[in-house]
């Protein structure tokens, strides 16, 4: 076996040093009835050639489609330099940077990641990353409750992605946190309902999305004041790639920003790995879960980076911890850090511009067929909801037959369609033509 270096002679010599006669003696203390004595019901070992053939054949049972689906996961451009850099063994095969003297590579890129996330969101401080956007939002919910101390109700807008809401609700359920939904009105958060639900002075936090699940850019003017007047934290789940253009969570007055960074060039890979982000104002840094990297100096005065503020973390606080998170999504944080470095502000803006133009063109063309109508009359970014005159499922099937993943069905007659900088005019025209021919 190529992964085991032991020769028979090695094994004999090592057993001797260990004062043992056989390999079985290594497990001699284990009660007999617990020992596993049959062959595993697993395939026989495969060579690398067979492995490649096997997965190539499996891959053929997946369809390679032109992707117009979004709903939290988008088909963005990924610069060629990223994969080779993150594949370097020094990054790939390192553990958590517990020995900073030999982990400055990891620690510095996390510091750069933190800096860039704060630039995009406008927030003061962020942790070193979370698993994904759904769990990052659940952690934000837990932060709100920890900050409020004696309140255990959190409001979540109906315009937040249902995939995020159901994870928040799951975490809340086991902690006895009450989640109430803020109604939606014409595709956006019903601010009158929000105000009414804040009235009882018992809300720890309010979770909103930007752009929202329907791709709409919501106008949150006055919302932060409304929350803060009732001592509730404002949490904004924002799409990072769009923040190159959109008003930032900080500018809206949010206390916590969170979400998924998949839109920063991470491949879709059937749901992961992605990376979540969680950022906040300085006031709440002690309640921020997860790792944080800070700058310092070594004994020679050299600039260096180190995991810091660890008194917050689970391995110190144990059962008093606000969160059980004890890792980060480091390699994917490196992915988006390289992405942001390569793209810069100008590249991010160009990608937003292409996505925005494409989405607005496609929406206009689809409406022109007479078979679709905009579900909402609100400003949107690169994703939009359309009502279809025939069942949405039928539209998706017609597109699928032509190698197109036409979007995500969110109601029997409603499709959520997403356009990124990777979609061409020709692809969109084909989409429209197929819909027109239904």
Partner 1 sequence: MIRNYDKLIFELSKEGRTGYSLPKNELKEQHCICRLPANLKRESAPGLPEVTEFDVVRHYTNLSNKNFGVDTGFYPLGSCTMKYNPRINEEISALPSFARLHPAIPVEAAQGALEVYYNLAESLSEISGLGAFTLNPYAGAHGELTGLMIMRSYHMQRGDLKRTKVIVPDSAHGTNPASAAVCGLQIVEVKSTANGTVDVEDLKPLLDDTVAGIMMTNPNTLGIFETEIPEIARLVHECGGLLYYDGANLNAVLGKCRPGDMGFDIMHINLHKTFSTPHGGGGPGDGPVGVRAGLEALLPNPQVKKDADGKYYIDTDDKSAGYVSNFLGNFAVLLRAYTYILTLGRENVKMVGPLAVLNANYVKESLKNEYYLPIEGVCKHEFVFDGLADKSTGVTTLDIAKRLLDYGYHAPTIYFPLLFHQSIMIEPTETESKETLDEFIAVMKKVAAEAIENPDIVKSAPHSTPVRRLDETTAARFPKTTYKQLLG
Binding to partner 1 (CB under 8 A): which residues in 45-104? 45-46, 48, 51-52, 54-65, 67, 69, 71-73, 75, 77, 79, 81, 83, 85, 87-104
Task: Point out which span in 39-47, 191-199, 226-234, 429-437 binds partner 1 (CB under 8 A).
Answer: 39-47
Cα distance between residue 266 and residue 339, in whole Å: 9
Q: Which of residues 259-278 bind partner 1 (CB under 8 A)?
A: 260, 267-275
Site for partner 1 contains 8 (CB under 8 A): no
DSSP 169-205: HHHHHHHT-EEEEEPEETTEE-HHHHHHHHTTS-EEE
Decide if 223 contacts 253 (C-beta within 8 A).
yes
Task: Point out which span in 181-189, 222-230, 367-375, 400-408 binds partner 1 (CB under 8 A).
Answer: 400-408
| C-alpha to C-alpha distances, 32 to 21, 22, 24, 37, 148, nearest whole angstrom | 18, 16, 11, 10, 54
Site for partner 1 contains 320 (CB under 8 A): yes
Residue nearer to partner 1 on the CB measure, 115 or 394? 115
Residue from 338, 366, 385, 417 touching partner 1 (CB under 8 A): that is 338
Site for partner 1 contains 255 (CB under 8 A): no
Site for partner 1 contains 370 (CB under 8 A): no
Residue from 181, 195, 230, 341 touching partner 1 (CB under 8 A): that is 341
| C-alpha to C-alpha distances, 173 to 114, 170, 209, 427, nearest whole angstrom | 31, 5, 21, 44
Site for partner 1 contains 308 (CB under 8 A): yes
Residues 201-222 as b/e (b if ≥16 CB within 10 A, e otherwise) read ebbbbbbbbbbbbbbbbbebee
Task: Point out which span in 133-141, 150-158, 197-205, 222-230 binds partner 1 (CB under 8 A).
Answer: 133-141
Cα distance between residue 438 and residue 436, in whole Å: 6
Residue from 147, 257, 261, 292 touching partner 1 (CB under 8 A): that is 292
Which residue reads 């997860």 in tokens?
Answer: 290
Q: Which of residues 177-216 bind partner 1 (CB under 8 A)?
A: none
Residue nearer to partner 1 on the CB measure, 197 or 432? 432
Dihedral over alpha carbons 43, 49, 54, 58 (to 10 degrees): 150
- The helix/strand/coil state of 257 is strand
Total number of residues binding partner 1 (CB under 8 A)? 202
Residue from 1, 149, 401, 412 touching partner 1 (CB under 8 A): that is 1
Site for partner 1 contains 150 (CB under 8 A): no
> Per-residue contact track with partner 1, 209 to 248, x per CB under 8 A?
--------x-x-x---------------------xxxxxx
Residue nearer to partner 1 on the CB measure, 182 or 220? 220
Decide if 130 contacts 279 (C-beta within 8 A).
no
Decide if 122 contacts 112 (C-beta within 8 A).
no
194 class by beta-carbon count within 10 Å (0-12 exposed, 13-18 middle, 19+ buried): buried
CB of 438 to partner 1, least distance (A): 18
Residue from 140, 198, 334, 432 touching partner 1 (CB under 8 A): that is 334
- The helix/strand/coil state of 374 is strand
Residue from 321, 367, 374, 438 touching partner 1 (CB under 8 A): that is 321
Task: Point out which span in 41-49, 147-155, 186-194, 228-236 binds partner 1 (CB under 8 A).
Answer: 41-49
Site for partner 1 contains 12 (CB under 8 A): no
Q: Report CA Rg, the chain.
A: 25
Give, as one character, the DSSP assignment of residue 389: S
């Amino acid at each position: 076996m190529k992964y085991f270096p032991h020769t028979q002679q090695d094994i004999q010599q090592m057993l001797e040093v260990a004062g043992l006669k056989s390999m079985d003696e290594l497990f001699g203390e284990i009660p007999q009835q617990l020992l596993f004595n049959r062959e595993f019901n697993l395939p026989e070992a495969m060579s690398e050639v067979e492995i490649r053939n096997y997965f190539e054949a499996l891959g053929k049972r997946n369809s390679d489609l032109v992707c117009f689906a979004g709903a939290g996961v988008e088909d963005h451009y990924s610069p060629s330099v990223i994969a080779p850099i993150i594949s370097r063994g020094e990054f790939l095969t390192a553990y958590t940077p517990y020995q900073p003297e030999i982990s400055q590579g990891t620690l510095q890129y996390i510091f750069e990641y933190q800096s860039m996330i704060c630039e995009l969101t406008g927030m003061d401080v962020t942790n070193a990353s979370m698993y994904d956007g759904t769990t990052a939002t659940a952690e934000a919910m837990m932060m709100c409750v920890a900050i409020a101390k004696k309140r255990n109700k959190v409001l979540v807008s109906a315009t937040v992605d249902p995939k995020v809401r159901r994870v928040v609700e799951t975490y809340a359920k086991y902690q006895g946190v009450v989640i109430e939904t803020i109604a939606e009105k014409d595709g956006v958060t019903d601010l009158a309902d929000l105000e009414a639900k804040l009235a009882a002075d018992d809300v720890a936090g309010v979770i909103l999305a930007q752009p929202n699940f329907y791709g709409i850019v919501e106008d949150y003017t006055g919302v932060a004041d409304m929350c803060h007047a009732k001592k509730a934290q404002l949490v904004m789940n924002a799409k990072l790639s769009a923040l190159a253009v959109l008003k930032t969570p900080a500018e809206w007055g949010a206390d916590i920003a969170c979400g998924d960074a998949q839109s920063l060039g991470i491949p879709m890979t059937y749901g992961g790995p992605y990376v979540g982000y969680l950022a906040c104002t300085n006031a709440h840094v002690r309640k921020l879960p997860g790792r944080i990297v800070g700058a310092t100096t070594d004994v020679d005065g050299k600039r260096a980076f180190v995991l810091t503020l660890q008194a917050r973390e689970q391995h110190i606080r144990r059962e008093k911890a606000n969160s059980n998170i004890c890792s980060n999504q480091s390699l994917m944080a490196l992915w988006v850090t390289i992405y942001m470095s390569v793209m810069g502000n100008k590249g991010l803006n160009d990608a937003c511009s292409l996505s925005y133009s494409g989405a607005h063109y496609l929406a206009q063309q689809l409406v022109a067929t007479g078979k679709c109508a905009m579900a909402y009359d609100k400003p949107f970014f690169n994703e939009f909801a359309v009502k279809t005159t025939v069942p949405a499922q039928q539209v998706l099937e017609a597109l699928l037959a032509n190698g197109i993943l036409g979007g995500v069905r969110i109601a029997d007659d409603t499709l959520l369609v997403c356009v990124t900088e990777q979609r061409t005019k020709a692809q969109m025209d084909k989409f429209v033509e197929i819909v027109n021919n239904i």
